[in-house]
Structure 1
Amino acid sequence: MDQSRRKFLKTTSLAAAAIAAPNIWIPMAGDAWGATLKKGEPIKVGLLFSLTGGLAVPEEDSTLVMQYAIDEINKNGGVAGHEIEPVIVDAKSDFNVYSEKTKELILRNKVIAIFGCYTSASRKAILPTVMSQNSLLYYPTCYEGAECSQNDICTGPLANQHSKDLIPFMVKNFGKKVFFVGSNYVWPKESNKNAKVWLNAAGGELVGEEYIPLGSSEFGPILNKIRDAKPDFIFSTVVGASDIAFHKQFKQEGFKVDSMPIASLTTGEIETRAMGNEFGAGHFLSAPYFQALDNPTNHKFVEGFLKSKYGKNGVTHYNMEETYISAYVFKYGLEAAAKKAGGIDGITSKMIRDASGGVRVEDGVSPEGLIWIDDQNFNTWLKPKIGQCQADGSFKIVKQADAQVAPDPYSIYPDVGVCTPTGLKAPDGKIRANVI
């Protein structure tokens, strides 16, 4: 094992251990939030994704599509007449680097906001710094919930918008017995807590549950357990390079997709292209966006992005699209804050965040269709969808919600309380800010 590999596994294990328990309270540093914008100066934002290492498969494309969105916004007049200036960082799939670069972006580069992270492990690694420095994070992908932070805005689905539909769909169409496989950190484990609730409600049966170290690629022992358990389908929360290895070894070990498909929350067009279409074909993904969505805005987005200098990897993907949307959520939130303040001069991260509740990205801008930011918990109202991977690597949508579904961070923890703009409101009326 080479040194970079050892370092990746060491840092991911440490990070996973450090954040294993959700609902940690992080006190605020003070009343002043983050950087302050000045009239006549560019709007600096940080792009904190991994361009190398085991998380680069989805995260490089997040960096590329953010640059595409920023170029698009700037070409159309920027925000309140000011251009957005990205500060691009390679987090190197190393949670220590995520944390270090967060401090650098906020304190040295003076960014007004950070767009970044793909895993909950990296998000939780940087949120304490974002909070202590009173900055703002746009987290543009799915996550598990059980969190109420006043310093981030999330544009991906929560568990109640993700596996809540996928689990009963798979039980109905393939059978009751399911085997859970996930990467070993907080998002898969917390997501599986939600999935178990919905599996029970659907009359399903959990016949096995295994986790593999984040970044690992050896699935032989887990596949042997799956062979013995004989599930009707597999529910996967494996991420990054590990996800590609899992699908390839599934087929190489002789498992048949028609009798035991994998239902995933992460395996989209990017991962399928990286592993080879033959390894993805037949499996399922739950996501709010697929490249094959048939609407004029998505056609324009796909064509424009893939023809641009940023479309080198040849596909669009749910995580990219949620990242793209986050750029417009930022634009509209900042414009709303500037309108209220009478201009951009003196705008802080908190003012943007406070103005973002209820922000809408309409059909004409959002490739997945209308979404909006909840004015209480600052997650996103969206339409959950389920797609099945085809032989050419595209996804056929087999189920879609009739309307946008409200984000519910505490869907399986109703007794914990409700997330509000000022913090988690417990049943006794007490409010705690920044519960992560």
Structure 2
Amino acid sequence: MAGQSRTSRSDNEPWRIGLLFSRSGIMELVETEHFRGSALAVEEINLAGGVLGRDIEPVCYDPATSPDLYRRFAERLIVEDGVSTIFGCCLSSERKAILPIVERRNALLWYPSLYEGFEYSPNVIYTGATPNQNSIQLAQYLFAHYGKSLYLVGSDYIYPRESNRVMREFVEREGGTIAAERYLPMEPGEEQLRRVVDDIRRTRPAAVFSTVVGRGSREFYRLFHAAGLDPATMPIASLTMAEGEIQAIGPELCVGHLTSAPYFSSLDTPASRRFVAAYRSRFGAGSAVTMYAEAAYFQIHLFARSLARAGSLDTQRLVDAALGLEIEAPQGAVMIDADNQHAWVRPRIGKATAEGEFAVVWEARQPIKPDPYLVNHAYDDAWTE
């Protein structure tokens, strides 16, 4: 088995891991936040003495948002660099690109991004939210406060199409309507975005559910504001728009728009305050602290706890050690579900403020069990107003 030689190291050799996040390309902003959260956690663990007296040593590559580069670097990490544990990917197209390599080589991917669900691999620990931990709550909030007519717009790849399928099924089941469903290239032109904004102005939905990602998402919010559309009566509701992109767009253009996520930097808890202070101390006082940084950060700490239990980078031993493991993350209690290797997280909905943060306008009473295949159709535990 490929993992055997990599786990038989001397007692003082560092634990080598791979970091595979894009720090260039269309997802540069968000994946740099993933990278920084990971780096901060590694530094904290090493300063505290490492794991079982050994430092964590990251091997880092920049795949530049290219699935081909993701495949090439994943293969290099495992075959040439002797790394069996990889932290990486944001887009589902990136995860799907390296998943066959990770499985074939019996490596382990820790995936920190929200995603569309409908996947399970014994070689992946999923620490981002699944649709029953963000989409369902967002739809119910929109129904309660804005109305039941949604306009769906997304980038043209796996995650938006699957997320919109889930949203459409839920909306129609609840007696709502879909005003339109539109898809844009990964790097849309201004005219393509403008046509969507014009169509929104014409159809007048109660809210816009956006899964547009990358640079195109930021231009979409700017054009929405320039068209005079008012988020107080018709917000853009997203699962991906975080503080970093709000900062890049201009907070004054985003006031009133919504995001559903387990973490916002405005959370006033000791763990969140410590994380925000540490992140800004390391990366600059003006750095935006986001769900992307937080998920990448806590999963490294969760890995370190699992590694201390397992005493080895062997994939199966690490997975076994992680199952059922609970830690106090900046977002609150997080646990890896023993049934499906996804994380229990606490859903929240935030409304963008003029300060570039999110005011939490709703949160679940407790963490929600991940249901990546949406087996539970009731979701009575997912929503209370």
Q: TM-score, normalised by structure 1?
A: 0.83
Partner of 2:310: 337
Q: 1:76 and 1:231, CA in 2 relative to 1: closer, same or farther beyond 3 A? A: same
Partner of 1:214: 186
Q: CA deviation at 1:169?
A: 0.6
Q: CA deviation at 1:321?
A: 0.4
Paired residues in the alignment total 374
AA at the equivalent of 2:198: N
Q: 2:319 aligns with which of 342, 348, 353?
A: 353
Q: 2:81 aligns with which of 80, 87, 109?
A: 109
Partner of 2:99: 127
Alignment of 1:363-402 (within 5 A): 366-402=329-365
Partner of 2:265: 291
Partner of 1:100: 72
Q: 2:50 aligns with which of 67, 74, 78?
A: 78
1:323-350 CA-to-partner distances (Å, cap 9, x unmatched) read 1011012111111112xxxxx4xx4122
Q: CA deviation at 1:289?
A: 0.2
Q: Does 1:160 align with 2:132?
A: yes
**Alignment check: 8 A CA contact 2:3 2:315 kept:** no
Q: 1:391 and 1:100, CA in 2 relative to 1: closer, same or farther beyond 3 A? A: same
Q: CA deviation at 1:253?
A: 2.1
SS in 1 for 2:57: strand
Q: CA deviation at 1:188?
A: 0.8
Counterparts of 2:248 and 2:366, CA distance in 1: 32
Q: CA deviation at 1:287?
A: 0.2
Counterparts of 2:336 and 2:244, CA distance in 1: 26
Counterparts of 2:261 and 2:324, CA distance in 1: 22
Q: 1:249 aligns with which of 212, 219, 223?
A: 223
Partner of 1:321: 294
Q: 1:80 and 1:56, CA in 2 relative to 1: closer, same or farther beyond 3 A? A: same
**Alignment check: 8 A CA contact 2:3 2:107 kept:** no
SS in 2 for 1:71: helix
Counterparts of 1:382 and 1:273, CA distance in 2: 25
Counterparts of 2:207 and 2:250, CA distance in 1: 21
Which stretch of structure 1 is more off in the superposition, 62-71 or 281-290?
62-71
Partner of 2:382: none
**Alignment check: 8 A CA contact 1:34 1:112 kept:** no
SS in 1 for 2:116: coil
Partner of 2:381: none
Q: 2:238 aligns with which of 264, 278, 282?
A: 264
1:31-81 CA-to-partner distances (Å, cap 9, x unmatched) read 857832513211111110111111001001211121111000011111111
Taking only the aligned residue pairs, the percentage that are identical comes to 37
**Alignment check: 8 A CA contact 2:265 2:289 kept:** yes
Which stretch of structure 1 is more off in the superposition, 195-204 or 135-144?
195-204
Please provide the CA RMSD for this pair. Answer: 1.6
AA at the equivalent of 2:111: Y
Alignment of 1:174-185 (within 5 A): 174-185=146-157
Q: CA deviation at 1:198?
A: 2.2
Q: 1:37 and 1:193, CA in 2 relative to 1: closer, same or farther beyond 3 A? A: farther
Which stretch of structure 1 is more off in the superposition, 147-156 or 217-226?
217-226
Q: CA deviation at 1:259?
A: 2.1
Q: TM-score, normalised by structure 2?
A: 0.94
**Alignment check: 8 A CA contact 2:22 2:62 kept:** yes
**Alignment check: 8 A CA contact 2:3 2:84 kept:** no
Partner of 2:367: 404
SS in 1 for 2:188: coil
AA at the equivalent of 1:397: V
**Alignment check: 8 A CA contact 1:46 1:87 kept:** yes
Partner of 1:275: 249
Structure 2: which 5+ runs fail to align?
Answer: 378-385
